[in-house]
Amino acid sequence: MTAFILYKSIICLAIFILSLTVAAYASWWERKLSGFLQDRYGPNRAGKWGLLQPLADGGKMLFKEEIIPNLSNKFLFVIAPGIFIITTIVAGVLIPWAPPVKIGDTYYAMQATDIDIGVVFLLGVTSVGVYGIMIGGWASNNKYSLLGAIRASAQMISYELAMGISLIALIISAGGTLSFSEILQVQDAGYANVVWQPLGFVIFFVCSLAETNRAPFDLAECETELVGGYHTEYSAFKLGLFLFAEYMAMFVSSAVMAGFYFGGYNFPFAAELYQAMGLEEGSWIITLIGFTVYFAKTLLFISVFMWIRWTLPRFRYDQLMNLGWKALLPLSLLNLAITVVVEFIRGNIQF
Amino acid sequence: MQLTTRSKVVSNKQLSFAERIYLPALLKGMFITLSHLFKKKVTILYPEVKREHAPVYRGQHVLKRDENGAERCTSCGMCAVACPAEAITMESGERKKGEEHLYREEKYAAKYEINMLRCIFCGLCEEACPKEAIFLTDRIVPTEFEREDFIYGKDKLVELVDKRVDVSKRQTPEVLAFKKLEGMRHNVLYTKKLTTKSESKS
Amino acid sequence: MLGYTITQWLFGILSFLAVMFALLVVFSKNPVHSVLYLVLTFFCIAGHYLLMNAQFLAIVHIAVYAGAIMVLFLFVIMLLNLNEQHEPRRTSVSRIIGVIVAGLFLMVLVGVLKGTEQLQLTNTANAEAGLIKNLGQVLFNEFLFPFEIVSILLLAALVGAIMLGKKEVKENVNENRI
């Protein structure tokens, strides 16, 4: 029992630190990549290649003046960024970062917890994340914040539907399991899910852009028409937490996409490679390689998120709603129907 | 009536299917930005690399010394009169005995201030100067945090004896010839007029 | 611990919190606070589901009730901008009616609870009962008919909502233009 608690604590701590580091350095990489895409260098003064930039940014956020609006609801105003960041961290516990390692006779999964309804849990947690935005926007006692919060949360709720339905199609083609680690094991044996779910992947990708409030769906960030969205009244580190949570959400959703659709820690000819290297199942080297592969895929997705941000202009709000309800939702239903037919032909489901 | 050649006829034609699903246009845009990833950076990394200034660049002023290290400025006030932004103020002093190595002529500027926030770097002070004492150089005026720090006194303006500022770029033969033109005589004449006026008053 | 198992402790704490938050829903003056307390109540109830090994139900409860329905409640309340000054004055008639309705509801509740007096806390019956596989088996075998009825009901509600939300098509649109 003690060993179990110790092992779970270590895994949780490792995932926590990993998410924080990646979120911090995602902001650095965002600025760097945006620089490269615009023929600039990006931050290069703080440390080598500007690597200390996240520290400098964090320090700046810490030392800024903390403003709490006089007529705001102070308690809710303060806890709103906390709610937002907690939900994004909790979503990250599901991700199995590497193949299980074998110590003695027992296998230790590189995952904080393997819930058998992991996919539903993910949807539930993201839907709770809306509260951070809603409460923050309302507690500011500012009509611009309120409108921004309502826009952002309406956007998240709308895109959750198409996301959920594209996930149902994914679950059907992944053999009817809702557990994250089993979805990865299915892809170990066969092809990556994106082969069977290309349309589903596109829908899921667009929806996760909207869910994480990233461009081109970043109406919350928009200064010109919304005066900064739900975090208009926030300053100093509370604003930092909101922005940090956004990067963390981006990291988690990139990891989820890499896992659900691109095989996670699996890669083509992995089994052959491990055999050629003479590694047995459960070896820590396999775990290490698997983790590296998964991490690389995740970083690739993060970069694509950023690439999109620095290419596409922002959607107008009615266009955003049209895309969500009139394009993505019917498309995801169509994808579901196609999936059922395809899986029936493949013989994976019987009536 | 056509006012410009760049006008475009607005058309409300229906978008084709490819245009309506955005994706082709979207991918095109994505590859445009991707191609910029591999282009040469246009940034000049300032403190390490400095951009070449044009030879006639007008930056921070310098008050020159002569060959012996004495200040050339005689506090005649021509520059202050010429200055359209009224950025220059000065107070004159009389040279004492034993200060010949410091000031070239009997009258000198005891105080000489240029307000860099007012200065528009037009170079008229340089043009007006009969003693070739003030020049604009290719140095950039640094930023400060306080407004007072932008008022440059003699400590910042006068060049150091052992660290002369090169103004040969501004003293091209054309400029030297221009300074000797008959039209520029007013510099000298105006000074004379001023001195006679003050004498007659007293 | 004091003769109780961890499950019983959790049950007690969750029940206390659920009842407390439920009371706060009623007693808080600010409607937005009421909604937020209601969300917390839902979380406590989801905790109860977890104690009964009904993980799927717990998560769906959070996702649907806390994550979707209450957000819409919040939308409405926030946009209406309700506060104490705008609250309509309660006449004595409405108060009397309210007391009568609440009393009747209490009677119904007491009656229902009396009927279930012998109900025991049977959470250890089957640890696998709440897993999604078993839930699906039960739902699509024994309860297939009610399930389909409910889905038709939801579909009808969906169509109704769309009909309500649709703009009325005006005739003679051109005449309205100036």
pLDDT per residue as tens digits for the range C51-62: 877 888 888 888
- Expressed in angstroms, the distance from the first to the final Cα of chain B is 71
d(CA A50, CA A31): 10
pLDDT at C124 over 70: no
**Residues C75 and C97 placed together within one structural domain of the fold:** no
Nearest to B37 among A36, A44, A312 (CB): A36
Q: How far is A48 from chain C (nearest CA, A)?
A: 44
What is the pLDDT, as a whole number, of residue A303?
A: 92
| Interface membership of A37 toward B (CB under 8 Å) | yes
Between chain A and chain B, the number of residue pairs with CB atoms below 8 A apart is 31
Residue C177 lies in a domain: no
Q: How far is A124 from chain C (nearest CA, A)?
A: 4
Q: A203 pLDDT band (50/70/90 cuts)?
A: very high
Contact B79, B131 (CB under 8 A): no
d(CA A166, CA C49): 27
**Residues C74 and C105 placed together within one structural domain of the fold:** no
Residue C176 lies in a domain: no
The domain ranges of chain B are 61-201
| Interface membership of C150 toward A (CB under 8 Å) | no
Q: How far is A323 from chain B (nearest CA, A)?
A: 10
Contact B62, B79 (CB under 8 A): no
What is the pLDDT, as a whole number, of residue C118?
A: 60
Lowest mean pLDDT among A192-196, A256-260, B17-21, C87-91: C87-91
The domain ranges of chain A are 62-346
Nearest to A311 among B30, B41, B43 (CB): B30
| Interface membership of A344 toward B (CB under 8 Å) | no
Q: How far is C41 from chain A (nearest CA, A)?
A: 14
For residues C14 and A351, the model is more confident at: C14
For residues B170 and A288, the model is more confident at: A288
What is the pLDDT, as a whole number, of residue B198?
A: 57
Contact A76 C62 (CB under 8 A): no
**Residues C18 and C74 placed together within one structural domain of the fold:** yes
pLDDT tens, position by position, A177-189: 888 888 888 887 7
pLDDT tens, position by position, A82-140: 888 898 888 888 888 888 888 777 777 778 777 778 888 888 888 888 888 888 888 88
Task: Give the ipTM.
Answer: 0.81
3.30.70.3270, 3.30.930.10, 3.30.565.10, 1.10.10.10: CATH of B61-201? 3.30.70.3270
**Residues C49 and C71 placed together within one structural domain of the fold:** yes
**Residues C6 and C76 placed together within one structural domain of the fold:** yes
| Interchain touch B–C (≥3 Cβ pairs closer than 8 Å) | no
- The torsion of the CA quartet A85, A91, A97, A102, rounded to 10 degrees, works out to 110
Residues of A in contact with B17 (CB under 8 A): none
Mean pLDDT, all residues of chain A = 85
Residue C30 lies in a domain: yes
Chosen for mutation from B28, B43, B46, B49 (greatest number of chain A CBs closer than 10 Å) is B43
Residues of B in contact with A41 (CB under 8 A): 41, 43, 45
With tokens 């102070």, the residue in question is A74
d(CA A139, CA A2): 43
And the tokens for A99? Answer: 């193949």
Residues of A in contact with B42 (CB under 8 A): 39-40
And the tokens for B54? Answer: 């044009």
Range of the domain at C134: 126-167
Residues of A in contact with C63 (CB under 8 A): 120, 123-124, 127-128
What is the pLDDT, as a whole number, of residue C128?
A: 64
Return the residue of B nearest to A303 by Cα: B34
Q: C153 pLDDT band (50/70/90 cuts)?
A: very high
Between chain A and chain C, the number of residue pairs with CB atoms below 8 A apart is 57
pLDDT at C176 over 70: no
Q: B118 pLDDT band (50/70/90 cuts)?
A: very high
Residues of C in contact with A113 (CB under 8 A): none
**Residues C51 and C109 placed together within one structural domain of the fold:** no
pLDDT at B41 over 80: yes
d(CA A149, CA A43): 31
State the total domains in chain C: 3
pLDDT at C177 over 70: no
| Interface membership of A76 toward C (CB under 8 Å) | yes
What is the pLDDT, as a whole number, of residue A147?
A: 83
**Residues C23 and C76 placed together within one structural domain of the fold:** yes
**Is residue A289 classed as helix, strand or coil in its secondary structure?**
helix
pLDDT at B67 over 90: no
d(CA C128, CA C108): 34
Nearest to B43 among A41, A310, A312 (CB): A41
**Residues C82 and C93 placed together within one structural domain of the fold:** no
pLDDT at C155 over 90: yes
pLDDT tens, position by position, A164-174: 899 999 888 88
What is the pLDDT, as a whole number, of residue B90?
A: 92
Residues of A in contact with C38 (CB under 8 A): none
pLDDT at B70 over 90: no
**Residues C64 and C143 placed together within one structural domain of the fold:** no
d(CA B119, CA B125): 10
pTM value is 0.80
B115 forms bridges with which residues in the sheet? B151
**Residues C74 and C149 placed together within one structural domain of the fold:** no
What is the pLDDT, as a whole number, of residue A73?
A: 82
pLDDT at B130 over 50: yes
Contact C63 A135 (CB under 8 A): no
Average pLDDT over residues B64-83: 88
Nearest to C62 among A128, A138, A150 (CB): A128
Neighbours of chain B (3+ CB pairs under 8 A): A
Contact A349, A340 (CB under 8 A): yes
What is the pLDDT, as a whole number, of residue A301?
A: 92
Residues of C in contact with A124 (CB under 8 A): 59-60, 62-63, 67
pLDDT tens, position by position, A32-70: 999 999 988 888 888 888 888 888 888 888 898 888 888
Interface of A with B in 298-317 (CB under 8 A): 307-308, 310-312
Contact C132 A117 (CB under 8 A): yes
d(CA A262, CA A255): 10
pLDDT at C175 over 70: no
What is the pLDDT, as a whole number, of residue A115?
A: 78
pLDDT at B174 over 80: no
Residues of A in contact with C34 (CB under 8 A): none
Return the residue of C nearest to A121 by Cα: C59
**Residues C78 and C94 placed together within one structural domain of the fold:** no
